Structure 1
Amino acid sequence: MRFRDIIAAIGLIAATLFSGAAQAGDKAAGWAKWADRAELIYNSTLAGNAMEVATACKGVTGVVIGQGFQFPYWGQSLIQVCDVLKAAEKESGNRRRKGQVCSDLRRLAKIMAKAEPVAEEPRAAVVAQNIAKVLTVMDQQSCH
């Protein structure tokens, strides 16, 4: 092997190792953004303030899809959680609309309850499961 080939091989190995480290850092940063947003949504929902929920949900799609990797299904469902929280706030006396909101609350509570621990961000699964509990309470109070 020539010296130039050895240098090229070392460069390729280094690039592979460093890109893996960069991806791990990006994933940790992405999960941290997700957990921060999910906590904001959770706390706003607990406060019962529709304006706070709307503000917390603003940009949630970008947080979920803009991190350079794919969140598990329960992580992606944060977008739908915002949708159902906003719909629940706007719910009128319309039975069909209320029925859809109630169905969505139950479905999303089940999805978020399936959250599993994430090595990059320990808060993620905890806050997802807390959101699941809030959605369940909302369903029990509004739909039964």
Structure 2
Amino acid sequence: MSEGIGAAAERDRRCSWCGRVKPATAFHRMGVGRRRSRCTDCHAATRTRTPGKCYPETLEGQRERKLRARYGMTGKQYEMLVGAQEGRCAVCGKVPSRLVVDHCHRTGRVRGLVCDGCNIKIGAYESSRAEVEAFLAKCGNGHPVMGY
């Protein structure tokens, strides 16, 4: 290869993560004449959010951080809710594979833990509450045209 623009970028390089020397093609491009400092293997490993150099946070730490940021609660409080509800959805009473935090979008207050299906139903109902309540008030026991 002739020495020119980008020639240095195409030489073998050392990965900043694993320290191995690899061909330039083992590093993702970052524009003209530039490549990432980590090889594709190391870059892929850090993108899966495995605990390590780039993402030291554990899965428990991520859950704790998200619970505090989104709902103002700790992991211990979440586990207390699971225990109080006996692992059941607060709406349908089923024992799902996971429970999500249901909260009021206006006030931010936590209402309980629900399964994914009930969480979707609650969200759909809340977004069109007035229309649903008007319909039920008008036709709750049957449509007037049907005669019952």
**The TM-score by the shorter chain falls in which range?**
under 0.3
TM-score, structure 2 as length reference: 0.26
TM-score, structure 1 as length reference: 0.26
More helix by share: 1
More strand by share: 2
Higher RCO (CA < 8 A, seq sep 6+): 1
